[in-house]
Amino acid sequence: MAEYTVRFDSHPEPIDVPAGALLVEAARQGGVEIRQPCGGQGRCGRCAVRIESGQVRRRSVLRLSKADIEAGYALACQTVVEGDVSVVVPPPEQIQRRLTTDHIAPEALVPDGYDPEQVQTVRRVVLQLTPPSMDDQTDDWGRLETALRREADIHRLQKSLEQIRKLGPVLRSSDWNIALTYDTGREKNGTAQLIRVQPASQAEEEALCGLAVDVGTTTVTVWLVDLLTGTVMYQGSEYNQQISRGEDVISRIIFASKNDGGVELRDLVLQTINDLVEAACSKTGISAKAIVKATVSGNSTMMHLLLGIPPESIRLEPFITPINNLPLLRASDVGITMNSDGVVDPLPGVASYVGADITAGVLASDLRSSPATTLFIDVGTNGEIVLGSSEWLATCACSAGPAFEGAGVLHGMRADTGAIEEVWIDGTTFEPTSRVIGNVAPRGICGSGLISLVAEMFITGILDKGGHINQTLPTPRVRRTLHGAEYVVAWAAETESGEDIVITRVDIDNLLRAKAAIYAGFNVLADGVGIELESAEQVLIGGSFGKYINIEKAIDIGLLPDIPWEQFEFLGNTSVRGAYLALLDREARAEIAEIASSMTYIELSADNTFYEAFTSALFLPHTDLSRFPSVAAAMT
Amino acid sequence: MAEYTVRFDSHPEPIDVPAGALLVEAARQGGVEIRQPCGGQGRCGRCAVRIESGQVRRRSVLRLSKADIEAGYALACQTVVEGDVSVVVPPPEQIQRRLTTDHIAPEALVPDGYDPEQVQTVRRVVLQLTPPSMDDQTDDWGRLETALRREADIHRLQKSLEQIRKLGPVLRSSDWNIALTYDTGREKNGTAQLIRVQPASQAEEEALCGLAVDVGTTTVTVWLVDLLTGTVMYQGSEYNQQISRGEDVISRIIFASKNDGGVELRDLVLQTINDLVEAACSKTGISAKAIVKATVSGNSTMMHLLLGIPPESIRLEPFITPINNLPLLRASDVGITMNSDGVVDPLPGVASYVGADITAGVLASDLRSSPATTLFIDVGTNGEIVLGSSEWLATCACSAGPAFEGAGVLHGMRADTGAIEEVWIDGTTFEPTSRVIGNVAPRGICGSGLISLVAEMFITGILDKGGHINQTLPTPRVRRTLHGAEYVVAWAAETESGEDIVITRVDIDNLLRAKAAIYAGFNVLADGVGIELESAEQVLIGGSFGKYINIEKAIDIGLLPDIPWEQFEFLGNTSVRGAYLALLDREARAEIAEIASSMTYIELSADNTFYEAFTSALFLPHTDLSRFPSVAAAMT
């Protein structure tokens, strides 16, 4: 058998291994330290190394993005040596950072072949008007509009009284040489919305910027975008300040219905957005006046709260959204810190629980570019699911409850510093290893940590398929309390609070109900369109929560359908990316409208097959084990 | 020769007169007192009597409206007996009132054949929506818009964020039975502007009203209109409170340019309008909330000041209007007291000195309904002139200066109580008789009084054709002062101030310049379109000032062209009537837009024939007496 030489940058000596050896085997042979928290299962992504040169074969690329692979990353535990190889072992912090930041570099965000001239939603044209004279008595606006018709084929310019008031002095102070900024993102037939008229000389020195805003229930994300090039100048996220008034959309709606709750929630989310805009401006040196458009995405409740529209009916049967298709709005009416004559484009939603975050997500996911059947999921408080292809789209929302966001779970918490986000359990000792966000003493367990924990408990036999804790196991970590059995994830001595972090039987029941609701949603949706769920050729996972899910473990517990790992792709925050595309590109904006109007919405609570599907999914991974062959195989 | 019997109601005995006798002759014969301040020239209208029965022939109907004639009125000094006649002599107050009020009864204002169903600009439709259910998840606005498309063929409903916020609660509190009010006055292709959504039961009990507003430099007029029937419920006029900041548009513009002058002027005119609206509401019991639309007319400066648009460029060469065609505005943006979601429709103007008052005037005058060449004039501070027919329209504005509004004349004043509004001078004694508004001691002379005075002075030889006062006449009323010659119109003992009211040489010069500017405007306009001015088949006089002009005297001084009296028609306030028609009727609104866009504007100061025409018109009546044959005849 051929032998190859493996060189690690951290090690002076080359290591000879037989063809077909794994990189971790080479490392072990040479005494090179590579961490493998998941025990070499290719699940944690912590053993990622960078191949500098040489031939390797990646057996699995789970936890690696396309950009990672292009950059040469490979999982040491899953990578087969097929030639002489040079390998760089990155320091652990670097891996940590790679795993937790959005992988997409700002410049990589600009769509391929993006041509502002062709598709820009916001345009700024410079017009040299012929000054009026005694022989040419056209009024100021008529003069402007005639030039605009000639130069830019705009036949109808919509303008506010406030804007009408400003023109005369600008024309005369600029020697009739002006820059006119307008939006045509949602208009057809040569209609435009006026944003701004300014002296051409002033415009030359000024940026033309926009905001892509994703208003999440938990996190608000703002991108500051250079509209002339499409470049993302700043990306920022903050907790939605509304959190202090309720963790999930339901409690927010209830809060909004009382007294001036709606006003308070509106102010809080505006404060969150405006803090981010201020940070963007101060970081980039851009003036808020140069920000002329904001495209806003978010779930239906967040959109209504941001715009001050009473959201009560979203919560009450039959769960009706006041408005899915909002008109283009004035910045001054919305309250975002930007040019007050700027425009705000709230993206369209489909239903009370399938909002603009999903239509934007479908756009960003590129789901519609392929005829392949694709499942797009965005799991947060609710699991929103889209099944479709270039030909058709169907969607539903599963009210999973907030268990995966850490609520309803004794030691649950949001994915914040101190949260256990991944757990591995030794099948012999039942001792856990875990990864904590921020590498600090753990404070609790976040959603991805809970999925990971339940999966590991199930795989190692701590849980049976009904979700019961096996109290006969020889480990002190399984114990019985007044409220039932529990498993100790971290001993008091290791935790921030000095108390044990545990998962209880009640927690597990809540998590099973949440995952069952989502999986049942997949099933009803697939049945509704007449396909087998497992025949989906691609699974795209959006949302910031999704980014941290370990696919294998999510399949292990029956949250995700049992589809080969390589068919899954993590897309990160597709909502803000969709907003960004719709901000830049008229065609993308038209497509999002098309997505919203063509998507068939299935209301699960009106579907009488849902309850049965839900009940069947309350087991680990499912009553019908034949639907989870890979899990069945792992259990034997 | 046949004899006829004339019976006067105020006289017990019948009076026999020969056929062909005038009514005044019959009265004199029987000793019946009928006042004839103009000496039986048919010019003052004071001898109007009502023919109860019998055959008469009216030699002249000057000073009588069509409605007067229909009501049986005839001028005693101009009416020939052609049968046995019964005559009622109205008390003097009644004649006074008839002469000074607008003759049009509110019910006569509704256009013939007006069919709200067909042409209404504002509509209120009742929609019974199917409530949503688990099987019908359409959002609130989608549900509303679908019903509106089906029931009213409206395909695009424009709405504000404020309106979007209100729908949900209204739908649910009304059992999905709503009344929707929208405006389509300026929209085509099934587009509408949402005004209001309310429970259908509430709408049933509520009026649907609009305002027709004419913002004059001196007077603001507001009509409250029932939009369901077209009925005018209230007509009110008040002085524009801006007067205290300048009498004419030029001084207003100057005031607006300084500090916060524009804001102050805007507040003042809004205050004027809103006081009138309040009076209308309290008089009719209509709530301001029920007023959902206002159509506004006025000259370009007034429109700009009302809307807070800086008007400076109107005053400065080349005299450019910031905007002639304003979009439909929200009531809340404009500031008129009415439903804040209502709409304000500012009518279109043509140029800085040919504003919406003129386009509205042309609409109201019905000028475009006949192929006959018609001259439409509106004389105020400026004389705005339109020459046209159903086929074409041309317009110009003569900056006459404010002489006819009483400014620049020593004892000039506005047409207010105490103003001498008509004068007759005895050709032998040179003693004047005059009519004073309000029948009080005179305070000064208003525009119509000045025209009348100059004409009488000219006809009686006190003035020569150059406007010089003949100081050789045997009357103490002509006298010489340090500043030149003057004529005493009222002695100190008769006046309110206890001082003589006079007209001076300087006053006359100013008046000649004003009338010359207007007459030159007529000429340049007629030349511009290639017709003889005197070939105009009809002269329509709009504006509240025009209402009181004595045509004969205006011709005598060369202000109006020498066209037979019966071809003149006084139309009163055509600006507010045009606004009223455009408020009611989509077709009228479309016509006004057509009028504004099709009217050829001739800027006089850019026309090199104007100065010559002006100089020729500085004489009484004109250098070329052949253009004034009726005046030439009277002078011989």
pLDDT in tens, B68-80: 888 899 999 889 9
**Test the B interface: residue of A134, A135, A145, A163 with most B CBs within 10 Å:** A134
Which of A221, A211, A306, A302 minimizes the C-alpha distance to A572?
Answer: A221
Contact assignment for A141 to B313 by CB distance below 8 Å: no
Predicted local distance difference test score (pLDDT) of residue B633: 81
Q: Is residue A49 within 8 Å of residue A19, measured between CB atoms?
A: no
Chain A positions in Cβ-Cβ contact with residue B603 (cut-off 8 Å) = 134-135, 137
Closest-CA residue of A relative to B163 is A309
Which of A136, A145, A141, A129 minimizes the C-alpha distance to A177?
Answer: A129
Closest-CA residue of A relative to B603 is A134
The H or E element containing residue A166 is helix A161-173
Which of A281, A237, A282 minimizes the C-alpha distance to A100?
Answer: A237
Alpha carbons A167 and B312: distance in angstroms, whole number: 12
Mean of the pLDDT values across residues A73-87? 91
Contact assignment for B322 to A167 by CB distance below 8 Å: yes
Predicted local distance difference test score (pLDDT) of residue A636: 63
Of B136, B159, B333, the CB nearest to A161: B333
Dihedral class, residue B475 (left if φ above 0, else alpha if ψ from -120 to 50, else beta): beta
Which segments of B300-382 are extended strands (E)? 329-330, 343-346, 374-379
| B201 CA: distance to closest CA in chain A (Å) | 22
What is the per-residue pLDDT across A364-406, written as a single tens digit (0 to 9) for each? 999 999 999 999 998 766 789 999 999 999 999 987 767 777 7
- Answer whether B593 touches A (CB < 8 Å): no
**DSSP character at residue A450:** H
Residue B392: count other Cβ atoms within 10 Å of its Cβ: 13
Q: Is the pLDDT of residue B413 over 70?
A: yes
Q: Which residue reads 């030699």 in tokens? A: B59
**pLDDT band (50, 70, 90) for residue A100:** very low
Contact assignment for B310 to A165 by CB distance below 8 Å: yes
| B321 CA: distance to closest CA in chain A (Å) | 5
Alpha carbons A525 and A528: distance in angstroms, whole number: 5
Predicted local distance difference test score (pLDDT) of residue A61: 76
**Test the A interface: residue of B320, B329, B359 with most A CBs within 10 Å:** B320
Backbone angles phi, psi at B539, to 5 degrees: -125, 120
Of B167, B322, B606, the CB nearest to A141: B322
Q: Is residue A358 within 8 Å of residue A380, measured between CB atoms?
A: no
Predicted local distance difference test score (pLDDT) of residue B64: 79
Of B137, B327, B351, the CB nearest to A601: B137
Closest-CA residue of A relative to B169 is A310
- Answer whether A593 touches B (CB < 8 Å): no
Chain B positions in Cβ-Cβ contact with residue A317 (cut-off 8 Å) = 134
Residue A346: count other Cβ atoms within 10 Å of its Cβ: 27
Contact assignment for A317 to B605 by CB distance below 8 Å: no
Q: Is the pLDDT of residue B90 over 70?
A: yes
Q: Which residue reads 């919406």 in tokens? A: B356
Contact assignment for B168 to A142 by CB distance below 8 Å: no
Which of B527, B589, B533 minimizes the C-alpha distance to B559?
Answer: B533
List all residues of chain A from 176 to 235 with a beta carbon under 8 Å from chain B.
none
| B487 CA: distance to closest CA in chain A (Å) | 41
Mean of the pLDDT values across residues B495-504? 96
Alpha carbons B577 and B571: distance in angstroms, whole number: 10
Dihedral class, residue A347 (left if φ above 0, else alpha if ψ from -120 to 50, else beta): beta
Chain A positions in Cβ-Cβ contact with residue B134 (cut-off 8 Å) = 317-319, 603, 605-606
What is the per-residue pLDDT across B132-155, written as a single tens digit (0 to 9) for each? 999 899 999 999 999 999 999 999
Mean of the pLDDT values across residues A191-220? 94
Q: Which residue reads 């000041």 in tokens? A: B305
CA angle A560, A562, A564 (to 5 degrees): 110
Of A140, A317, A333, the CB nearest to B323: A140
Closest-CA residue of A relative to B304 is A165
Closest-CA residue of A relative to B346 is A161
Contact assignment for B165 to A132 by CB distance below 8 Å: no
Chain B positions in Cβ-Cβ contact with residue A161 (cut-off 8 Å) = 307-308, 329, 333-334
Alpha carbons B54 and B274: distance in angstroms, whole number: 50
Collapse the DSSP code of B398 into the 3-class scheme (helix H, G, I; strand E, B; otherwise coil) and give the result: strand
Length of chain A measured in residues: 636
- Answer whether A608 touches B (CB < 8 Å): no
What is the per-residue pLDDT across A4-61, written as a single tens digit (0 to 9) for each? 999 999 888 999 999 889 998 899 888 888 877 666 767 667 788 999 999 999 887 7
What is the per-residue pLDDT across A429-443, written as a single tens digit (0 to 9) for each? 999 989 898 889 999
Mean of the pLDDT values across residues A527-531? 93
Closest-CA residue of B relative to A169 is B310
Contact assignment for B164 to A333 by CB distance below 8 Å: no
Chain B positions in Cβ-Cβ contact with residue A354 (cut-off 8 Å) = none
- Answer whether B607 touches A (CB < 8 Å): no
Q: Is the pLDDT of residue A174 over 70?
A: yes
Closest-CA residue of A relative to B313 is A168
**pLDDT band (50, 70, 90) for residue A103:** very low
What is the per-residue pLDDT across A501-516, written as a single tens digit (0 to 9) for each? 999 999 999 999 999 9
Of B164, B312, B333, the CB nearest to A323: B164
Report residue A38 as tokens.
Answer: 């998941």
Which of A56, A45, A54, A69 minimizes the C-alpha distance to A23?
Answer: A56
What is the per-residue pLDDT across B93-132, written as a single tens digit (0 to 9) for each? 565 555 444 546 677 788 888 888 888 999 999 999 999 9
- Answer whether A317 touches B (CB < 8 Å): yes
Percentage of residues in chain B having pLDDT higher than 90: 69
Contact assignment for B308 to A605 by CB distance below 8 Å: no
Mean of the pLDDT values across residues B346-371? 95
| Mean pLDDT of the residues in chain A | 90
| A304 CA: distance to closest CA in chain B (Å) | 9
| A174 CA: distance to closest CA in chain B (Å) | 15
| B158 CA: distance to closest CA in chain A (Å) | 8
What is the per-residue pLDDT across A337-375, written as a single tens digit (0 to 9) for each? 999 999 999 999 999 999 999 999 999 999 999 999 999
Chain B positions in Cβ-Cβ contact with residue A307 (cut-off 8 Å) = 161, 164-165
What is the per-residue pLDDT across B243-260, written as a single tens digit (0 to 9) for each? 888 878 989 999 999 989
Chain A positions in Cβ-Cβ contact with residue B323 (cut-off 8 Å) = 139-142, 164, 167
Q: Is the pLDDT of residue A263 over 60?
A: yes
Q: What is the DSSP string of A579-610?
A: HHHHHHBHHHHHHHHHHHHHPEE--GGG-TTH
**pLDDT band (50, 70, 90) for residue B170:** very high
- Answer whether B307 touches A (CB < 8 Å): yes
Contact assignment for A140 to B169 by CB distance below 8 Å: no
**Test the A interface: residue of B136, B137, B162 with most A CBs within 10 Å:** B137
List all residues of chain A from 350 to 379 with a beta carbon under 8 Å from chain B.
351-352
Q: What is the DSSP string of A552-579?
A: HHHHHTTSS----GGGEEEEE-HHHHHH
Contact assignment for B324 to A601 by CB distance below 8 Å: no
Alpha carbons B248 and B399: distance in angstroms, whole number: 11
Sign of CA dihedral B346, B347, B351, B357: negative
Contact assignment for A320 to B601 by CB distance below 8 Å: no
The pTM is what? 0.84
**DSSP character at residue B289:** G
* Helix ranges restricted to H, B530-636: 543-546, 551-556, 574-584, 586-598, 610-616, 629-635
Predicted local distance difference test score (pLDDT) of residue A1: 62
Mean of the pLDDT values across residues B213-232? 94
Predicted local distance difference test score (pLDDT) of residue B617: 95
- Answer whether B107 touches A (CB < 8 Å): no
Please report, for residues A257, A445, A539, A606, B153, the alpha-carbon distance to residue A381 in angstroms, rounded to integers and kept in the order given: 20, 16, 19, 20, 41
- Answer whether A78 touches B (CB < 8 Å): no
Chain B positions in Cβ-Cβ contact with residue A321 (cut-off 8 Å) = 139-140
Q: Please, which residues have CB within 8 angstroms of residue A175's CB and are 6 or more apart in sequence?
A: A131
- Answer whether A329 touches B (CB < 8 Å): yes
- Answer whether A134 touches B (CB < 8 Å): yes
The ipTM assigned to this model is 0.84
Count of CB pairs separated by less than 8 Å, A with B: 134
Predicted local distance difference test score (pLDDT) of residue B544: 62
Mean of the pLDDT values across residues B312-326? 95
Strand partners, B423: B434
Say which range, A73-82, A452-461, B58-67, has the weakest mean pLDDT.
B58-67
